[in-house]
Structure 1
Amino acid sequence: MQKRNTYTEIEDFLTDESFQLWILSKVDEQGWEEWTLENLHRAKLVESARLLLLAMKVDEANLSQNEIHLALESTWLKIKEKEDLKKNYTKSKIIFIRKYWLTGVAASLLFCLFSFWIYNSNNVKSNKVTYNELIDSSYEGLVEQTNNSDKPQIITLSDGSSVLLQPDSKLSYPKIFTGNERKVYLSGEGFFEISKNPNKPFFVYANEIITKVVGTSFRVRAYSDQPNIEVLVRTGKVRIISNKLISNSEKEEVVLLPNQALRFLRSDLTFNKITNITEDKTFAGSVGNIEQLSFEFTDIPVEQIFKTIEQAYLVNIDFPENKLKDCHLTTSLSDQPLSEKLKIICKSIGNETTFEMNGNQIIIFSQGCN
């Protein structure tokens, strides 16, 4: 039996070096994430220990040297006053009192410094949630994908969902979705096409808002240096709420349907719903190919279908043109992630047609259509 199976207090976790390494450095050599999932009755203790451990990482720069000096000087004056009041005690009693007050005052000073840091943090950041804060709040071991190129990049998640990640953006997500929720964390802009799973809702955490869906397609634009967060729905329905990390948010929920959008004002934490994006110049001008092109095909050449996908996702598709030149398909690919679109096409072509994806390069293997 592992030692941690006997932990019953927060202090047990705080003094465990492997736990500290997991929380502070995200190095899970001892399998803490798996252990927590298997011991849900201890999850509350783990969460409390994690929050306390992160809170104890006080940046020394939060207090100036002058502030620290004044606090210490005031403390020692209080100690001297207490000692003067007890001058008639015996020497041993005075020593005892000195040690007692030193310990108490030191604890009080630490508490005051910690409270001062918490106060500043809440007042400075109460209206802002950073990407790093979102990542730190997650238990899951996450993979981070950053798009440093000048073109969008396709990310395929373990559930088949796809994300078209724009330049100067990054997405963190688990290798495999576990539990009864699917969570990802975005900084920047991404177009999401979510694989349907009513029993396992999908959440996109982006700055101060959370977008919840079951199976749909939508765009989220949430740059850390921009004043607003934008969500635009192409298909399906999404629910948007403010993140619980915001201390003074009203916890409003907004529901968006196709061709509706939301602009979240970060300065005052307000939701501005746009029911017709064509009437909003900003949204109307930002709609991309993937949101405009139709994926409903009736007796259309396979080559043309591939070209439509290339235009929408800015990918390259390599396929045997001679073998597929006479192939026509009638199919609906709307509201499907990219990988699912390709599966449907390959199945419709038949003859054991398959595909491979390597980043933005797609290769189709086929001996021709049925």
Structure 2
Amino acid sequence: MDDARYQELLDKYLKGDCTEEERALLDQWYLSLDSEVKLPANEEEQKRLLAQNWQKLSARTTQHTPVRQHWLRTYWAAAAAVVVLLGVGWYFVNLNMIGPAQHDQFVEAKASSIEHTNTSTVPERYVLSDQSVVTLQPGSTIQHPAVFAARKREVRLIGEAFFDIRKNPNKPFFVYSHDLITKVLGTSFRIKAYPTDRNVTVAVRTGRVSVYSPKLVSKSKSDPETIGVVLTPNQQVTYLDQEQRLVKSLVDKPVILTPEPDRMSFTFQNAPVSQIMSAIEQAYGIDVVYDEEVMANCFITTSLDQETMYDKLTIVCKLLGATYKVIDAQVVISGPGC
């Protein structure tokens, strides 16, 4: 194929008018460049042809549209970019400068990656390609591929967002925020990772997530996930960047996890403490630790249906003359008994 025919087909390709046969012809011509096509010998002619096509190629590759899977077609734009960066006059001559692996990374990073920022003043609902939903807080940014890879789904968050992830056991979902990695199969959770605060907080509403940081095992060969933490609903973890450690706790406002039709009453009439503690554990999915033997003779009459979890605990402890602390996402109650 001579240069005039190439220019004609390339122009049709850039306009989106190429037939599949013409695309195949371009691909075949591209593969045979070094053996069958006589490239312009004059350097000025080479630069002229490059300049003629570069503006259109550049404009096409910066659009936020899915990248064609045929690597030969995306390679034309990638090669042109390499020429501009390195100052080479004729980009087809230097295609061997980029290997297949580097090309794939280049195309994925530059062409198929999407970055979205919520520029409004209210939370924004953002849907990913797998139908997972991300609610971005104002000023927050999410980065992700246009289409997720075959074995895992990966996104990067700057700021704060609530994730409602579509369940897929064969393709775990990863969120990268500062130095923290959150791994889930299908659940809903919130992450706070603002650029002005190196500490990152992950709070779970439903399901389970694994949270870990590669920094915690940077000097060993351990799997970072094995020294991370597993979070269940109403639990959260904060990664303290300066101390490089994970602190597990309960969320600020725990919610009742049982469906409304199945919820038990929190009105008690001369009920043993064990019954009340069991009700709190089941409703909020938490562990309440106390000395059952010391409090075996304690009975309470009260109504706690309208109170939050922390208010329930405060009222019960006042009636018992006890106190409570939240330690490692558990409620620990201490008191003299009855």
Q: TM-score, normalised by structure 1?
A: 0.40
| Higher-helix-fraction structure | 1
Q: TM-score, normalised by structure 2?
A: 0.44
